[in-house]
Every structure is written in C-alpha cells, then in structure tokens.
Amino acid sequence: MKIIVTESQFKTLLESSDNSNVVEQIMNHAGIKYDGHEFLERTYDNFGRTHDTVIFYFRLPDDDFSYYRRIHFLTRNNKVISVDSAGDFRTIDDAFRYIPTDVLMDYFIEKGKTYLENSLPKRYPTDNK
C-alpha cells in the first residue's frame, strides 16, 4: 500500500508542536494499527550490563499478519540509560518513510522507555537500588 501525502500536508504534519502527533497522524492516515508493546526479555552482556527489550506490534490494513519491531535498552537499577539497538521501524510500511527517522524513533523510544521505567520496578523489585 502506498500513501500519498502532498508537500503542504507533510509540512503541516512536521510543523505540529508535538512530534508524536506526526507519527500518530501518519499511522492513522495510512491505516496502520499500533497493537501496543510489551516486555520481551532481560539479558546480560559479558560486561555485566543489563539489557531490557520491548517489542512493538503493528497491523497493516487488510493484512492478518502482525508486524513487530524491537528496541533493546541498556538499563541500570530499573532505569533506562540508553538505547542499545533498535529494529528499523521504517520498513514496516512505506508511510513510515515519510517521517524523519529521528522523529519516528524518538516516538517509539519514549514509549518503550516510559513503559520499562514503570514496569521494571514491579518485575525486578530487588534492582531498585
């Protein structure tokens, strides 16, 4: 499915005071359903660092298949320190290619970070040092 956005529509979206509005408007316009996110796993690397993964689910119009992307966060004491790695969200649908990568990724990184910092203390209460 291709999405057609005129230059003036694109500028209007980008001029939004809230960048998350751009992502939500493009998803809405393209019919991309955001099916939420959840905690996937916690791993540790050879340096003793903690990595927590959040998986995000999407469904495209007229498609029964659920698409997903992961973001791996580096965490310490149940707080997000940084993003370790992330899947390429732009490849889910052509509509995401109209959104600047930093805006698109910041939107989902913030969702994942907020989710982890709210849920990790309940899941790993002894890590709240």
Question: What pLDDT does 129 receive?
Answer: 66
Query: Are 98 and 26 a contacting pair, CB within 8 Å?
Result: yes
Count of Cβ atoms closer than 10 Å to residue 70 Cβ? 15
Query: Are 58 and 33 a contacting pair, CB within 8 Å?
Result: yes
Query: Are 40 and 57 a contacting pair, CB within 8 Å?
Result: no
pLDDT surpassing 60 at residue 26: yes
For the segment 38-49, what is each residue's pLDDT rounded down to a tens digit?
A: 999 999 999 999
More confident residue, 55 or 7: 55
The whole-number average pLDDT for the span 9-38 is: 78
Tokens 């905690």 — which residue? 39
DSSP conformation letters of 11-34:
HHHHT-SSHHHHHHHHHHHHT-EE
Residue 44 to residues 73, 110, 125, Cα–Cα distance (Å):
11, 22, 17
Q: What gap in Å lies between CA 92 and CA 110, rounded to an integer?
A: 19
pLDDT surpassing 70 at residue 117: yes
For the segment 49-101, what is each residue's pLDDT rounded down to a tens digit?
A: 999 999 999 999 988 889 999 999 999 999 999 999 999 999 999 999 888 99
What is the distance, to the nearest Å, from the Cα of residue 79 to the centroid of all Cα atoms in its chain?
17
pLDDT surpassing 50 at residue 1: no
Domain ranges of the chain: 7-127
Dihedral of CA atoms 6, 31, 22, 96 in degrees, nearest 10, equals -80
